[in-house]
Structure 1
């Protein structure tokens, strides 16, 4: 079972005017990073999403609506943002499968070596 979700890594309050309600309070820039969890591993990816929203009028501000001030602030925050390092962490079931495969390979190798060294009279 694969669970794919976005984790909020950083939230920044912006002092820009909202293009919808013209309020200069309540604008928020949120950076989210993709997190994948399965039965065998947890993984943090390099996939970063961002969203600018206004908490005053409860609307999402899409890039088409940005003015030059919002775009400038976004570019600055994007450069200042450091995402979590991409990683993969295996869980207990994965290690059990790895161990079983290793034991099976060692057993097969031992059988092949034993059959190769015996001589028939």
Structure 2
């Protein structure tokens, strides 16, 4: 069976990266938290995002969206806050793993599932 990615699915994937520097709410371990993509989270300085992120409980970037069994799965990389000031080298980003986000429909509640791949599971990766 072949699935077709609708243009709205591409928009949903882009929404996940539209705001890479999302304000982190809660801890860095947000397994099984659910949020609504329809809400309008604000940046730390109160500005409205151009495109709303799918989740605000973790930092995500570079998503890959897929449909399996009629359910939407988004696989973003996950950065943790390392408390380093922004610089031109990107040292403020620390990608530790890839997460799995899932939703039953575009615009529906988004579930932050567990870790799909952690850097510690890649023998040749040091960080």
TM-score past 0.5 threshold: no
User: Which protein has the bigger helix share?
Assistant: 1
TM-score of the two chains, using structure 1 as the length reference: 0.31
TM-score of the two chains, using structure 2 as the length reference: 0.30
